């Protein structure tokens, strides 16, 4: 075990021992390689640099109560990377290569997996980029798939405490029928100005209204939004929202725990009707939302008066993390024990 202050980890990069790489050249994927380098050698005309042929995933490995190391729903990450590759015409990564690469990345860096009870996890970043040289706008004929890992703590500095978010309409993260529903870097680049401005104005992140009508909730910064009302778990459905694996899991848990699940367009007008609200994703798991302020008119929607998460956010968070850390029965078969 490395000498790291596990309980005070942030969501940032920590150098580990190695990363895993696999190259697509001459119409086929090559062998899986291990590298200790933190840099890659790339052609100056690579399509990832000029035409945005880049997609990635975020996933976690957990050291459980029984000291076993678990991956959470890795097949869903592989499927989402497939959709991203198809969306921007990249060579898709075979399932067996994806599985071997993520497993090897965890195993070879296992001393960086935070101990059980610290609240930390090992974050995996599978990355697929176009490396072939093109000057005209066209897909590359060469690709690099790689996986690096880093130990992380909570995404928001507040941890599992309610955060403040800012509702905005003057920036769009993604267009309808664009790339919003796949996990490509351009979506995140498009969200930076809004997110940075929200942070400067005292908020954790920005909640985007839908780009077409500005009347529905879209993404909550880098995460999916959900609200709790009248025994219902309500979360937006949209062509420009990234399908979150965490949200998918929470919907199943919510239904199993007796909530009615609604995945549909959620009007901005409904913000004032929720008893609880949260943002969910691999990085944050659940970030309870304490309040949302509409930047245009100053309206404040309050979900926490005592600085604590609401009862359903607490129950859902405990149930999901309990499965991830091996504290609860994995009745859904979501976890893969690596060792």
Q: Which residues are catalytic?
A: 183
- 40-62 burial, b for 16+ CB within 10 Å, e for fewer? eeeeeebbbbebbbbbbbbbbbb
Enumerate residues 6+ apart whose C-beta is below 8 A from 10: 152, 153, 154, 157
Rounded distance between C-alpha atoms, residue 334 and residue 76, angstroms:
10
**What is the torsional sign of CA 317, 267, 197, 221?**
positive
3-state secondary structure of 40: coil
Q: Is 78 left (phi over 0), alpha (psi -120 to 50) or beta?
A: alpha
Pairing of strands 163-168, 285-294: parallel
For the chain, what is the radius of gyration of the CA atoms? 20
């Amino acid at each position: 075990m490395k000498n790291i202050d596990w309980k005070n980890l942030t969501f940032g990069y920590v150098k580990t021992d190695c990363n895993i790489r696999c190259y697509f050249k001459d119409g086929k994927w090559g062998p899986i390689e291990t590298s200790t380098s933190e840099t890659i050698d790339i052609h100056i005309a690579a399509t990832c640099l000029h035409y945005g042929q880049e997609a990635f995933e975020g996933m976690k490995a957990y050291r459980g109560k029984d000291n076993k190391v678990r991956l959470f729903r890795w097949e869903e990450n592989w499927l989402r990377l497939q959709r991203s590759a198809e969306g921007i015409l990249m060579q898709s990564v075979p399932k067996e290569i994806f599985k071997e690469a993520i497993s090897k990345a965890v195993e070879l860096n296992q001393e960086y997996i935070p101990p059980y009870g610290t609240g930390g996890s090992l974050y995996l970043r599978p990355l697929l980029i176009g490396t072939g040289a093109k000057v005209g706008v066209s897909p590359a004929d060469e690709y690099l798939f790689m996986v690096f890992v880093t130990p992380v703590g909570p995404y928001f500095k507040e941890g599992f405490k309610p955060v403040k978010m800012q509702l905005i309409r003057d920036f769009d993260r993604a267009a309808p029928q664009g790339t919003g529903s796949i996990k490509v870097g351009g979506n995140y680049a498009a969200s930076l100005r809004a997110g940075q401005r929200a942070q400067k104005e005292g908020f954790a992140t920005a909640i985007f209204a839908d780009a077409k009508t500005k009347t529905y909730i879209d993404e909550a910064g880098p995460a999916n939004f959900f609200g709790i009302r009248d025994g219902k778990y309500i979360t937006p459905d949209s062509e420009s929202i990234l399908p979150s694996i965490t949200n998918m899991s929470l919907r199943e848990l919510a239904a199993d725990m007796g909530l009615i699940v609604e995945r549909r367009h959620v009007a901005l007008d409904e913000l004032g009707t929720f008893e609880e609200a949260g943002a969910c994703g691999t990085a944050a798991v659940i970030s309870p939302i304490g309040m949302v302020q509409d930047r245009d008119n100053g309206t404040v929607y309050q979900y926490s008066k005592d600085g604590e998460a609401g009862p359903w956010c607490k129950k859902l968070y405990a149930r999901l993390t309990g499965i991830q850390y091996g504290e609860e029965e994995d009745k859904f078969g979501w976890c893969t024990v690596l060792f």
